[in-house]
Chains A and B, each alone.
Chain A
Amino acid sequence: MRAEAVRRWPEMIVEAFIRAAGYSAVLFVGLILFFLLREGLPAFAEVPFDALFGTRWYPIEGYYGLLPLVGGTLVVTIGAMLIAMPFGLGTAIFIAEIAPRWARELLKPLVEVLAGLPSVVLGFLGMVAMAPLVRTVLDVPTGLSALSGSILLAGMAIPTLVSVAEDALDAVPNSYRDAALALGATRWQTIWRVTVPAARTGVLTAVMLGVGRAIGETMTVMMVTGNAARMPLGLAAFFRPVRTMTATIAAEMGEVANGSEHYHVLFTVGLVLFIFSFIVNLAAGAVVFQQRKRAERLLS
């Protein structure tokens, strides 16, 4: 009996650690929010509220209009999704429904390789090889533009899109397909009218997570979008330089004195990004809770 009690002690410590680790995720999200608020909220006291909604971002002279930055992030993200969705979802459908086994075994690891490519490597290639190409092919003033950013971001969002959407399609019971085929539908009709609609929540999750990926990407966009803090208005904005929120933080944070107005505003930008990603992930998560099994796979 005594030996039993002695053995229990380490076990209790380990179990306490496990419990604490389990709670830690909540703690970390709380800490991140706390530090963003702690360093970001003073900006609202230092900079007039409506100045934050101005259209000029020129921090060294006290212009902190966030609109060009928010607009820049939106333009690049929308562009990225317009490119990523057809390719990503097409690839997912191909892998899940059409591809022969060998192609599937080849494609899945390749897509994972794409997920593993460091963002600086893509940014580097984008800068030296892709931007000049974009300029000459499209005959735009410069290749350092929202479009170049969107193309690379699409590349970074595609692995997420493919794996989550493919999981969702895979999870559709085979009996659905069999029923449709038995009724005389072609394979494509089955995919389009039965399988994809049955997996639509998962496909939606995939798209939302892809959006999250694109909004948050930093180094790549900083290296290829030109970082001009212009208001991106109209369709032409896709072909012009933009400045995103993430690139702004990365480019300027090193510069500022801790506790200065500029420092606080950059944390506010971080806060806006946090809120964006929170909403996007909440939307993805809402679907996730309906379908637990998929939820567990989606982050892997």
Chain B
Amino acid sequence: MPPRERTQHLIFAALTLAAVLTVAPIVLVVGYIAWLGLPAIRWEFLSAMPREGMRAGGIWPAIVGTLYLTLGTAVVAVPLGVAAAVYLSEYAPDNAFTRAIRLAIINLAGIPSVVYGLFGLGLFVLFLRLSTSIAAGSLTLAIMTLPVIISTSEVALRAVPQSFRLVSFSLGGTRWQTIWRVVLPQALPGILTGVILGLERAAGETAPILFTAAAFFLPRLPDSALDPTMALPYHLFVISTQVPGMPIHLQYGTALVLLVFVLSMNLLATVIRSRARARRQW
């Protein structure tokens, strides 16, 4: 074998190893948590209030809290994010201000989650007096999720061929009719994928809700958007670092529930994307 081919073999082997070593821990982590967490998963664990200082009972309020926060985030971030994407793809002129918008989006995507927490504390909790609540937490998470939704939706919108728009215009459609009846439906799978990936991130985040929404322990369900709430990621943080004598299977059980919650969103996004790809007509 000539030396340069031997080098290639060696390097390809190294690269394959890098790829394997990158994904192996992922499988390992998910498998490990599933293995140790599954024994905790019973109907009571999922549906009951925590008892005995959270060392027994279930995690129902944390599950509900995470659902509320995710929904709240969606209610704010989805319309705003998709509309912003529509603006960028269908309306925005190519000028300095549009570039500023793009720069702002890139920066929003890069701001550390804990800085979002500070911002949410400053604006929503203290300045707007929403107190530590689902509303304040959802708004904070929504702004954090916005750049993901905007950029993925914009890619999806731009992928709709220009000819579709031209046909609609030529049939007398207004710009908005064209967007609503032609462009958005075509881009829907791509937008949905982006939305779900964005919400997935929001559901798993702890730092932004630390000062804006999360309650350590609340033995009831929140009954308004102005109530604080328990949430799965924060609950996992609490029971793994703050509660003494916590049965280890409850910690892994909570981690598993959070993981399933987040990864099923991930799976949904993957399925939507691959089905859309298979069906695409252009």
Which residues of A approach B to under 8 Å, CB–CB? Answer: 11, 14-15, 17-26, 28-29, 31-32, 35-36, 38-39, 86-88, 90-91, 93-95, 98-99, 103, 107, 109-114, 116-125, 127-129, 155, 158, 162, 186-189, 209, 212, 215-219, 223, 246, 249-250, 253-254, 258, 266-267, 270, 273-274, 277-278, 280-282, 284-285, 288-289, 295-300
Contacts and interface: CB of A to CB of B under 8 A. Distances in A.
Contact of B12 (A19, A123, A188): A188
A26 B122 CA distance: 18
Contacts, number: 290
B185 interface: no
A118 B262 contact: yes
Give the size range of B's interface with the partner. 35 or more
B18 A25 contact: no
A32 B111 contact: yes
Contacts of B116: 32
B38 interface: no
A15 B29 contact: no
B271 to A, nearest CB: 10
Interface of B: 4-5, 7-8, 11-12, 14-19, 21-23, 25-27, 29-30, 32-33, 79-81, 83-84, 86-88, 91-92, 99-119, 121-123, 126-127, 143, 146-148, 150-152, 154-155, 158, 174-177, 194, 197, 200-201, 203-207, 210-211, 233-234, 236-237, 240-241, 248, 251, 255, 258-259, 262-263, 265-266, 270
Contacts of A278: 107, 110
**Majority secondary structure, B binding face:** helix
A281 B29 contact: no
A128 B237 contact: no
Contact of A35 (B16, B22, B119): B119
B29 A122 contact: yes
Most-contacted residue by chain B among A121, A189, A250, A280 (CB, 10 A): A121
Contacts of B113: 216-218
A91 B155 contact: no
Given A91-B22, A120-B237, A113 B15 contact: no
A119 B206 contact: yes
Contacts of A107: 19, 23
B49 to A, nearest CB: 21
A25 B259 contact: no
Most-contacted residue by chain B among A103, A116, A186 (CB, 10 A): A116
A22 B92 contact: yes
B114 A216 contact: yes
A91 B112 contact: no
A35 B265 CA distance: 33
Contacts of A296: 151, 154-155, 158
B117 A216 contact: no
Nearest to B10: A188
B99 A289 contact: yes
A240 to B, nearest CB: 21
Contact of A267 (B14, B118, B155): B118
Contacts of A123: 237
12 contacts: A11-B174, A11-B177, A19-B91, A22-B92, A29-B107, A32-B143, A90-B17, A95-B19, A121-B204, A121-B236, A212-B110, A277-B112
